[in-house]
Structure 1
Amino acid sequence: MIRERLFRTIFAGLLTGLVAALLMTLVMALLRYSLGFASTFEMFGDRFAPLLPVDLFLRLQGILGGYDQMKGLGVGSVIAGQIIVGCTGGALYALVVERDPARRRAPGITRRGILFVALVVGLAWLGTLALLRPVLDTNFRGSPPGPASVMTVLALLFSFVVFGLTLVLVYRAITRSESSDEGASAPAGGRLIGRRAFLAGVAGLGFALVSGELFRRLFDRATFSYDGLTYGGPGLQAITPNDQFYVVTKNVVDPLVERSAWRLGVTGLVDDPKTYTFEQIASMPSVEQETTLSCISNPVGGELMSNAMWKGVPLRDLIEASSPREGVVEVVLHAVDGYTDTFSFEKALDPTTLVAYEMNGEPLPDRHGYPARILVPGLFGEKNVKWVTRIELVDHDAKGFYETQGWGPNFVQPTRSRFDAPDFARPLRAGQTVGLLGIAYGGDRGVSKVEVSTDDGRSWREARIDHQGSKLAWSVWSHDWRPEGPGEYRLVVRATDGEGELQTSEVRRVGSGMGATGLHKVTARVEA
């Protein structure tokens, strides 16, 4: 009888905890979907992903099948963890209540139980705030960091309170025995526990279904359909269309920023901190410049790079308007999605470093940082922070999201070049002229020359540069080649930057953390 009673008590507690955890998850999903509040399932990933060393980070991607799979596993693990912790909390609550002599005066609810729930909710809330403190200013609708932090703190408190209240009320409902003359709770022997447990289970299923629908809608906006988008191949254009521009994002669901809520602050070591609306930024004297972006994870010959015409305000103008103090070493960039990154104060004052708000003559697309992003020519894409909301001047070597993992310390784009056409998977014909096509990129140094070898680097011929671009952008090159006879040919391309420096042939892989280097080589199969 004692063992059976204990079993029924724990079962009732587990069921209650499950219902409460599902409702809490539903509340979090609803706040994320409707108001853009950061959820624990996203913030935990953003908080702890930077702590993964580069080699482990890349190894996990390889094991799981990619970055998207890794992000999905992270979100699912946090949700599963919440439910498991919720069930455990429910079982402990049931044991506390059933071991309290006062339970006979209050069916399914006691003062000791209430104190236990209050303690659990309070500790869970404070513990979560302590763990997630660096990312509490995340808000996917674009609220400024200060208000965003307050809203996140309150949203977490509300979610945990919902869990606690549900725990108390559902447990009371499923254990109260209406047949008892004394009105005592009866988890072990109450004749109605089965029916009430069934109803609680139905309620939990309902919460799960509604949560599932919200997650489905969020999934429809998820980055899985475009994260890792590449651009290149025979159809390459000098200026990449916005919808084909490469994308890499840390988010499962990217921000949808409301321009009216968004602000850009300049803070830190300044005498006159300022906050700008989008309209104020857009009314300032602007510049347009052609600039290429490339991901630090782009392999030799890879297509995680694109080129666009950007319009924006020099970051230097905003910094100087705030009167920076002496001793500034770096700027730390904060984005609405909790992402951070850094670069030198000297680079921030470069006139080509922009707060960009237009891309190829259109407002920035959501996935590219609407309403404004930072553009830092010559540095890898991760430094070109999207959805930027705060620019902080600091006097020390700060570490951003990926820097904390160990990427860097050198983030300067090396000179690179590649073949884009023809399709080397198909055989070529001997004696027929083949139009070779590709791009070359020298960071913010420009490109002065491109050379092609058709004999694995033993001899070189200079290619035509058909689109010179600005010195901040890639160049598009072409070369006519006529293979004389059948066989396999090893083709290689190399570029010289605008300062006369030849592209290095030294092989450095993505896992180095500083970007891949080496020469792009392809094999052409020629048939008679």
Structure 2
Amino acid sequence: PSRLAGSARAAAEAARARFRPPPPAVAATPIPPQAQVRVPGMPSFLTPADDFYRIDTALAVPRVDPTTWSLSITGLVDHELTLTFEQLLAEPMTEAHVTLACVSNSVGGDLVGNATWLGVPIRTLLERAGVQHGADMVLSCSVDGFTASTPLEALTDDRASLLAVAMNGEPLPPEHGYPVRMVVPGLYGYVSATKWVEELKVTRFADDRAYWSDRGWSERGPIKTACRLDVPTQGVAVEAGTVELGGTAWAPHRGIAEVQVQIDDGDWQQADLGASANDDCWRQWSLTWEDALPGEHTVTVRAVDGTGQIQTSQRANPAPDGASGWHTVPLRVR
């Protein structure tokens, strides 16, 4: 068995090494240079694959040979479909910049990442299969047995919900779902971002439950508006005088309209926003704190989403549907 596993792993790695992502039929709008805020220490606007967060239920990363992989669309459809990897690659590809977030991310946490994805719009395959009346969910199944319950409307509306084959211009790394994973803007990963996906079962929330739903998490998982302070890093003292603050805010599929910053108990100030790539991406921000005096201070940040809704101050733990609350960071000025 170990020899068989080793040969399967070698075949998967060799196939990935040969794979060249096809050109997109629909290219993403170029990211404006001003999307990257020029405050020293800020994270990259596009998250490198090696730095992109990972939350897996698999004890070992599956190594999937694309020559034996297939995707099945089953359930409440007029015509069940099965596509090989080659057939999937022959479909028109869409490229999209999308921020993904984990429901277990704490306020101010780093279980969030932004990348350029290339893949086949899921809605085109669902249209081909013919979704039947009464369906309201797609249960995606991974080769490792993981399942996610995605609201049907998130896969059939105009958002860039993809069966992705590439990440930041490169083949998906095995850790991020090679050969194929799901990317759905606006939903936490546990209900949408199935890696190593092999089946999409069109069904109903009343009839099927997914891996994390059975463990007490909510069924639909829309990403809550979030904002964090990235610079200065908590625990690092800064010099008195002028202090450059910088951070990141996200409300995927709604966009970020404003970021507001409060120093100690002062008035809320408007931060300067980096350029927007699209409403499915996070947005960086900066603020110059003038005349910072020595001592202990706090910086609190909050965002306003593209619908005009101010991020809630109400604190909530990640379970069952995502953390909320404003990110407040203590800073020592010397």
Match of 2:165 among 354, 357, 360: 357
1:370 and 2:178 correspond: yes
- Paired residues of 1:444 and 1:472 also in contact (CA < 8 A): yes
Cross-structure match for 2:188:
380
Of structures 1 and 2, the one scoring higher in RCO (CA 8 A, sep 6+) is: 2
Cross-structure match for 1:290:
97
The one-letter amino acid of 1:299's match is S
1:234 positional shift: 2.3
Deviation digits for residues 313-365 of structure 1 (CA, Å, limit 9, x no counterpart): 11010011112222212111011111111112211212321111111111111
Cα separation, 1, equivalents of 2:42 and 2:272: 18
Cα separation, 2, equivalents of 1:410 and 1:323: 23
- Aligned-residue Cα RMSD (Å) equals 1.8
The one-letter amino acid of 1:239's match is L
1:434 and 2:243 correspond: yes
Match of 1:320 among 127, 133, 146: 127
Cα separation, 1, equivalents of 2:291 and 2:87: 58
Matches within 5 A, 1:111-150: none
- Paired residues of 1:430 and 1:482 also in contact (CA < 8 A): no
Cα separation, 2, equivalents of 1:266 and 1:490: 51
Cross-structure match for 1:400:
210
Deviation digits for residues 414-460 of structure 1 (CA, Å, limit 9, x no counterpart): 100001112232222222x211111000121000011111124x411
The one-letter amino acid of 1:301's match is G
- Paired residues of 2:135 and 2:202 also in contact (CA < 8 A): yes
- Paired residues of 1:483 and 1:526 also in contact (CA < 8 A): no
Cα separation, 2, equivalents of 1:506 and 1:410: 20
The one-letter amino acid of 1:447's match is I
Cross-structure match for 2:269:
461
Matches within 5 A, 1:333-348: 333-348=140-155
Cα separation, 1, equivalents of 2:52 and 2:64: 20
Residues 327, 424 of structure 1: alpha-carbon distance in 2 compared, 3 angstrom cutoff: closer
Cross-structure match for 1:301:
108
1:32 positional shift: 4.7
Matches within 5 A, 1:184-195: none
Residues 522, 328 of structure 1: alpha-carbon distance in 2 compared, 3 angstrom cutoff: same
1:396 positional shift: 4.2
1:415 and 2:228 correspond: no
Residues 480, 269 of structure 1: alpha-carbon distance in 2 compared, 3 angstrom cutoff: same
1:34 positional shift: 4.8
Match of 2:322 among 496, 509, 515: 515
Cross-structure match for 1:266:
73
Matches within 5 A, 1:5-20: none
- Paired residues of 1:452 and 1:461 also in contact (CA < 8 A): yes
1:384 positional shift: 0.8
1:424 and 2:234 correspond: yes
Deviation digits for residues 226-256 of structure 1 (CA, Å, limit 9, x no counterpart): xxxxxxx924010011111111111111111
The one-letter amino acid of 2:323's match is A
User: After the TM superposition, which segments of 4 or more aligned residues of structure 1 sit over 4 Å from their partners?
Assistant: 29-36
1:277 positional shift: 1.3
Cα separation, 2, equivalents of 1:410 and 1:338: 20
Deviation digits for residues 264-294 of structure 1 (CA, Å, limit 9, x no counterpart): 1111111211111112212212211110111
* TM-score, length basis structure 2: 0.86
1:261 positional shift: 0.6
Cα separation, 2, equivalents of 1:336 and 1:467: 39
Matches within 5 A, 1:44-55: none
Task: Among all aligned residue pairs of Structure 1 and Structure 2, give the percentage whose two residues are the same amino acid.
Answer: 38
Cross-structure match for 1:488:
296
Matches within 5 A, 1:55-204: none
1:250 and 2:60 correspond: no
Matches within 5 A, 1:438-457: 438-456=247-265
The structure richer in helix per residue is 1
Cα separation, 1, equivalents of 2:250 and 2:302: 10
Residues 331, 494 of structure 1: alpha-carbon distance in 2 compared, 3 angstrom cutoff: same
Secondary structure (helix, strand or coil) at the match of 1:429 reads: coil
- Paired residues of 1:375 and 1:384 also in contact (CA < 8 A): yes
Cross-structure match for 2:136:
329
Deviation digits for residues 122-164 of structure 1 (CA, Å, limit 9, x no counterpart): xxxxxxxxxxxxxxxxxx97xxxxxxxxxxxxxxxxxxxxxxx
Cα separation, 2, equivalents of 1:35 and 1:372: 17
Match of 1:277 among 65, 70, 84: 84
The one-letter amino acid of 1:425's match is G
- Paired residues of 1:290 and 1:309 also in contact (CA < 8 A): yes
The structure richer in strand per residue is 2
The one-letter amino acid of 2:263's match is T
The one-letter amino acid of 1:257's match is V
Cross-structure match for 1:109:
none
Cα separation, 2, equivalents of 1:340 and 1:241: 26
Asked which structure has the greater CA Rg, the reply is: 1
Cross-structure match for 2:282:
474
Match of 1:310 among 117, 126, 138: 117
Deviation digits for residues 192-218 of structure 1 (CA, Å, limit 9, x no counterpart): xxxxxxxxxxxxxxxxxxxxxxxxxxx
Cross-structure match for 1:104:
none
5+ residue gaps, structure 1: 1-26, 37-139, 142-232
Secondary structure (helix, strand or coil) at the match of 2:108 reads: coil
- Paired residues of 1:238 and 1:467 also in contact (CA < 8 A): no
User: Across the two proteins, how many residue pairs are aligned to each other?
Assistant: 303
1:494 positional shift: 0.5
